[in-house]
Amino acid sequence: MKTILPELITNEVKRLCIEAATIIDDEVLNCLEENKNKECGLAKTILEQIIENDNLAKKENIPMCQDTGITIVFVEIGNQVFIDGDIYEAINKGVSLGYTEGYLRKSVVKSPLNRINTKDNTPAIVHIKHTMGDKLKITVCPKGAGSENMSKVLMLNPADGKEGIKKFVLDTIKSAGGRPCPPLIVGVGIGGDIEKCALIAKESLLRDINDSSVDPDAKLLEDELYEEINKLNVGPMGLKGKTTALAVKVNLYPCHIASLPVCVNIQCHASRHKVVIL
């Protein structure tokens, strides 16, 4: 049995909050570079500016976007791990320290009705999964409101099928336009129920930007949606171009025979998530 103290979790979450806000993954930066070379005119200029911004953020240790998001934390706890304390308290303390000491914008309000800022970006949204082994995996994902506000869930009829799913995804991206700051990573969750499809859509955004689903049907849908989304001519920042989506990720889950839940969770080009395994 491995014992992990809450102080270690707090320190790691603090570090991950700051790094996620300031350091873009190399794979995402490379994808932006590749798409820049496909563009011309204004679309190419915008991608050049996004790349310059991301490089400056890393160099100067400053946020790549002014919206440093609500903090979402995915935790995988091995069955041989003992956490000697309250993991939720440890995570939220780490978020508080990360956002205050890292000078990151505090965007969380205590209640959606009174709109009073908590002033340290807590509480985080925490998802915990139990796994086998002696490892604790923590993934910190700051999610900006610009992209999250354009995300949608729809309960389709099973008869709508694949074409109904594609129409919903394409309509969502088209109606969003430039508001979620494209180019986008588009996460699609299909199956489960209303909350499960939303969760697996968000989890799909944690996948490597260059990977494909291991499920052949999901992979085919990813490829088809990627091609069709980039034909919409929304383009970088909604000002037209070939690059509306950098990637499309589809996650599936079993569902009821009478249901076809679908969620589109949109991530802007600032694809921010950092991982630690303890």
Residues 14-56 have pLDDT tens digits of 999 999 999 999 999 999 999 999 999 999 999 999 999 999 9
User: Does 59 fall in a domain?
Assistant: no
Q: 101-158: per-residue pLDDT in tens?
A: 999 999 999 999 999 999 999 999 999 999 999 999 999 999 999 999 999 999 999 9
Residue 26 identity (one-letter amino acid) = D
User: Does 51 fall in a domain?
Assistant: no
Q: What is the mean pLDDT of residues 169-183?
A: 98
**What single-letter DSSP state applies at residue 115?**
-
> In whole angstroms, what is the distance from residue 11 CA to residue 4 CA?
12
On whether both 267 and 160 belong to a single domain, the answer is: yes
Say what the pLDDT of residue 267 is. Answer: 97
DSSP of 133-169: SS-EEEEEEEE-HHHHTT-EEEEE-GGGHHHHHHHHH
Q: What is the mean pLDDT of residues 185-189?
A: 98
Compute the C-alpha angle 238/244/246, nearest 5°: 140
User: Does 234 fall in a domain?
Assistant: yes
Say what the pLDDT of residue 145 is. Answer: 97
Whole-number mean pLDDT of the chain?
Answer: 97
On whether both 83 and 109 belong to a single domain, the answer is: yes
Task: Provide the domain count of the chain.
Answer: 2
Q: Is 91 left (phi over 0), alpha (psi -120 to 50) or beta?
A: alpha
DSSP of 172-213: HHHHHTTTT-SSEEEEEEEEE-HHHHHHHHHHHTTS-TT---
On whether both 239 and 135 belong to a single domain, the answer is: no
Share of the chain above pLDDT 90, in %: 100
Cα-flanking dihedrals φ and ψ of residue 188, to 5°?
-125, 125
On whether both 163 and 197 belong to a single domain, the answer is: yes
On whether both 107 and 232 belong to a single domain, the answer is: no
Tell me which H or E stretch contains 263. Answer: strand 260-267
**Size of the chain in residues:** 278
Say what the pLDDT of residue 111 is. Answer: 97
User: Does 276 fall in a domain?
Assistant: no
Q: 75-84: per-residue pLDDT in tens?
A: 999 999 999 9
pTM for the whole structure: 0.95
Q: Is 81 left (phi over 0), alpha (psi -120 to 50) or beta?
A: beta
Res. 260 pLDDT band, cuts 50 70 90: very high
Residue finishing a domain among 126, 143, 160: 143
User: Does 52 fall in a domain?
Assistant: no
On whether both 100 and 173 belong to a single domain, the answer is: no
The domain of 126 spans 2-20+64-143
User: Does 115 fall in a domain?
Assistant: yes
On whether both 10 and 121 belong to a single domain, the answer is: yes
On whether both 123 and 71 belong to a single domain, the answer is: yes
For residue 161, what are the CA distances in angstroms to 156, 190, 196, 250, 262?
8, 11, 19, 15, 11
On whether both 134 and 265 belong to a single domain, the answer is: no
On whether both 134 and 254 belong to a single domain, the answer is: no
Say what the pLDDT of residue 228 is. Answer: 98
On whether both 138 and 174 belong to a single domain, the answer is: no
On whether both 151 and 133 belong to a single domain, the answer is: no
Residue finishing a domain among 86, 116, 143: 143
User: Does 30 fall in a domain?
Assistant: no
Say what the pLDDT of residue 14 is. Answer: 98
